[in-house]
Amino acid sequence: MNIYVLLKQVPGTSDVKMDEETGTMIRTEHKNVINPLDENALAEAIRLRDVMPEAKVTAISMGPPHAQKALREAIALGADEAVLLSHRGFGGSDTLATSKALAKALVTLAGGKLGKNDLVLCGERATDGETGQVGPMVSAILDVPVVTYVRKIDCENHAIVAERVVEEGLELIKASLPAVVTVIKDINQPGFPTLSGKLKAKSREIPVITPLDLGLSSDDVGLQGSPTRVVKVFRPRLSRDTIMCRQDSAGTAVDNLISFLEERGVV
């Protein structure tokens, strides 16, 4: 069984700059981390591997060269292998172009086709883009089942049973393998790097894959391969005309609040 984890390096804070011209995000090496939900996906992959004989966890990321830091961290946390899709040509990819590249990488790593017991895991969404589109898009391109918003996974032979959290409750979904599963925070509590993992991460070579390696042309990836374009970036009107009161013993602040709510028609 091969478990592939798609992970994205994201800014540690939401302090990201945007290239006003292309509308794409400028990523610098500063304070980048593994997308938190992808860390849950990785922890789940490791958990499944540890109960499954001969299972292997491979972390895959697409990003600038410094995204290899996130992959080293993944190895320190317990991944067996890691590969990085990195090349100028990938820059500016939207979710569809990213998904095409990742799907191609998965097929290539699996030797032409995902195996009958293979599983692809990723976070339900990333904290920077927040689209949640890459997981399902990868599954559509690979033509394999997808289960989204998952908080529990049980593996059976050639199938998984997953708990999917939806608005009104919980769905128990059975899907055949290979499949893509996107996870939510409830699934587990990610662990910490081990000493042996850290040592392994230091010495480990992380292969870098280019569009050419995947047989992708410049029309398939990057801005050219992306159907969407950011045409404008602007700041929303954030500051409101705040009415400020100070609490006092006479209770005027609360009275003012209640009349304010009455005026707005919310009580």
Partner 1 sequence: MYRGVMIIGEQRGGELHPVTYELLARGRALADKLSEELSCVVLGHDMERFAEGIIQRGADVVYIVDNPLLRNFLPRPYTSVLTRLAKEVKPEIVLAAATTQGRTIMPLVAAKLDTGLTADCTGLDIDPLDRSLLQTRPAIGGNVMATIKTPASRPQMATVRPKSTKPLSADKARSGRVVLKSYEKDMFTTCEELVRFVKDATQDVNVQDADIVVSGGKGLKTRDNFCMIEELASLFGAAVGATRDVVDLGWVGYPHQIGLSGKTVSPKLYIALGLSGSVQHLAGMQTSETIVAINKDPDAQIFKVADFGIVGDLFDVVPELIEKLKERKNGKLRREG
# binding residues, partner 1 (CB under 8 A):
80
Taking CB under 8 A as the criterion, the residue among 13, 22, 28, 218 binding partner 1 is 13
Contact yes or no for 109/60 (Cβ under 8 A): yes
Contact yes or no for 221/93 (Cβ under 8 A): yes
Could you say whether residue 184 binds partner 1 (CB under 8 A)? yes
Q: How far is the CB of 263 from partner 1 (least distance, A)?
A: 10
In whole angstroms, give the CA distance from residue 64 to residue 216: 18
Q: Which amino acid is at 261?
A: L
3-class SS of residue 203: helix
In whole angstroms, give the CA distance from residue 123 to residue 126: 7
> 208 or 223: whose CB is closer to partner 1?
223
Taking CB under 8 A as the criterion, the residue among 56, 66, 185, 200 binding partner 1 is 185
Q: Tokens in use for 155?
A: 């593996």
Binding window for partner 1 (CB under 8 A); candidates: 8-16, 46-54, 58-66, 196-204 = 8-16
> 131 or 194: whose CB is closer to partner 1?
131
Taking CB under 8 A as the criterion, the residue among 59, 136, 200, 202 binding partner 1 is 136
Residues of span 152-171 touching partner 1 by CB under 8 A: 161, 164-171
Closest CA to 3 of 185, 183, 252, 195: 183
> 16 or 199: whose CB is closer to partner 1?
16
> 195 or 266: whose CB is closer to partner 1?
266
Q: How many beta carbons lie within 10 A of that of residue 243, not counting itself?
A: 8
CA distances from 245 to 227, 248, 264 (A): 50, 9, 17
Could you say whether residue 176 binds partner 1 (CB under 8 A)? yes
Could you say whether residue 241 binds partner 1 (CB under 8 A)? yes
Contact yes or no for 247/141 (Cβ under 8 A): no
Q: Tokens in use for 1?
A: 């069984």
- Plot region of 149 (φ>0 → left; ψ -120 to 50 → alpha; else → beta): left
> 87 or 100: whose CB is closer to partner 1?
100
Contact yes or no for 38/44 (Cβ under 8 A): no
Taking CB under 8 A as the criterion, the residue among 50, 88, 212, 257 binding partner 1 is 257
Q: How far is the CB of 59 from partner 1 (least distance, A)?
A: 20
> 38 or 81: whose CB is closer to partner 1?
38
Q: How far is the CB of 173 from partner 1 (least distance, A)?
A: 6
Q: How far is the CB of 92 from partner 1 (least distance, A)?
A: 13
Q: How many beta carbons lie within 10 A of that of residue 192, not counting itself?
A: 7
Could you say whether residue 64 binds partner 1 (CB under 8 A)? no
